[in-house]
Each structure stands twice: as structure tokens, then as C-alpha cells.
Amino acid sequence: MKILVKVPATTANLGPGFDALGLALNLWNETEFIATDDKQIILSIDGEGAGKLPTDANNPIVDAALQVYDMAQKSCNGLRIHCINRVPIGSGLGSSSAAMLTGMLGANALLGDPFSQEEILKLAIETEGHPDNVAPAMLGGLVASIVHEERVISLKLPARANHGQIHLTVVWPEFDFPTKQARAILPKQVERKDAIYNISRAVLVTEALRTGDLELLGKAMTDALHQPFRIPLIPGAQIAMEAARKAGAAAVALSGAGPSLIAFSSKVDKGIGEAMSRAFEKAGLTSKIFELQVSHEGAEVSIL
């Protein structure tokens, strides 16, 4: 039996929605799983991360898959895994969450689906430590998450932009900015005014994405809790954000913890990505541009 798992890229935080909001994007990793009986786990990679990511049990897909085997109290007698990766590694587009979900969903399907989608999502969130990428990768679309009595509740929100199209331009500079480092620089306490600033704007971001109100999105997608500390550490990021707005973007923010920036506009406009890329180039960084849309579909599992 061969299992195919598809998981989308994600962008998290969306400006003020720190660790609470996430959005699935139409950039997909595809992975094939085959169960074997030779006691070997062999993984191969095409695309992003090829030649860099481990291909043994240290690969995050393998590690996640074995977690599910352990949870099911089953032995893994061997696996063949082939990855076609389109989500860049360490970019702020949820590659680690995509890998984790891929492994868990693949193993669960090979075992005959002993665990529900909710149980797999719970395991992934517990392993990742926060839900902002994992939840939209699983559910698709715009997702808000809260922790209630030590339980994560994730809700898919309407984000159909009924009154106007929303296009996404992501620019990924070649700059190493690990998530652990990005989290370590954040203050442990925040001012009350900054908390209020973000809470009010996060509500309006969700409404702007629901309706396609880009003017509102531009006003609301600012942040006081994480971007002021992270952006200065990414060469050219502040200038690139300003360049995106001047080129016609309605809103721009860090994608996740960065280093990628994500800009929002009413149509495909290559000038926005090119303007951001030139700003990074002036700071000594090459970059890659992705022209994307919201993916209203989340992770998919199929039997081939």
C-alpha cells in the first residue's frame, strides 16, 4: 500500500496575531509512504532541503511518524519515504510544521487510521509547542487558536475575501534566522498598551481577510509584540517592508518569525516582490519570490 500526504505551507502571526493566527498557502509538500518488512527506514528528498536535511531517523518526518507508531503501540517494520518539498526550509513558511504533520498523517494512514484528525492535530501541537502553523496546515484557510484549560482549541475562520481578491507575495531572503533565536530575543513581559494594541488589531485582521477589505488590513496588520524586536535583526527587512508598501502592497508583515516577508495586494503585482528583493539585495542578501494565494484546503491523505 502506498500513501500520499500533501501538506501546505503556512504563514503565522499575520502581524498582530502573535502565536494565535495562521493562514494556509497554496505551496505544497508531497510525500509518499510505503510500509516494508526489511527493518529499514529509507527517505529520499527532491526539491527544498535536498542534500541538507537528514535522510535517516533524524529526519523530522521519520521522527514524527515513529511517534504515531509508538502512540499506537505498534512496531515499525520498515518504511520507504519519498519527499517532494516545495516549502523552503527555515523561511518562516511553516516547513517544520509541514514535516511533522506529514510524518504523523502518513504513519496514521499506514496503520489504518487509529487516530482521528483532532488527535493527530493535538499531538502535533504538543510536539511543536504552539499551534499557529500546525493548525492551518491541517485545517486550511485562516485559523485562530487558543489554549483553554491546557487544551488547544483551533477554529477555522471564514477568509473568502467575498468583496475583493487578496493576493500574497512572499519574499524569502537567504538569511539564517532560526525560530529559537527569534523567540529568545522577545521580552518576557509586555506593556499593557502593547497588549491592547495587538488584541484590537488581531480582531480587525480576521475581519479584513474575511471580507477582502485591504484598506482595513493595511491599518490593522501592525504589531507591537514581536516584529519590533525581530525586524532589526534581519538585514534590509525594514526597508523591504517600506518598499513593498510604496510598490502598492496594502499590508506587509513578517511571515511567522521571519526572515520571509509577506505582502498583501488585490492582484498579482510582480513589482511588489521585486521591490522587496531589491531592498534585501542592497543589504547584501539574495532572495526568492513566491506569488501565492490562500489555500482553503488543509492537509490531504490519499491511498494510491
What are the extents of the domains in the chain?
2-157+295-303, 167-292
The top-level CATH class assigned to 2-157+295-303 is alpha beta
Share of the chain above pLDDT 90, in %: 87
Predicted local confidence at residue 33, as pLDDT: 98
User: Residue 164: pLDDT above 70?
Assistant: no
95 vs 260: CA distance, rounded Å: 12
CATH of the domain spanning 167-292, picked from 3.30.200.20, 3.30.360.10, 3.40.50.1010, 3.30.70.890: 3.30.70.890
Q: How confident is the model at residue 1 (pLDDT cuts 50, 70, 90)?
A: confident
Q: Each residue of 116-142: pLDDT tens digit? A: 999 999 999 989 888 899 999 999 999
pTM, entire model: 0.94
Q: Each residue of 202-260: pLDDT tens digit? A: 999 999 998 889 999 999 999 999 999 999 999 999 999 999 999 999 999 999 999 99
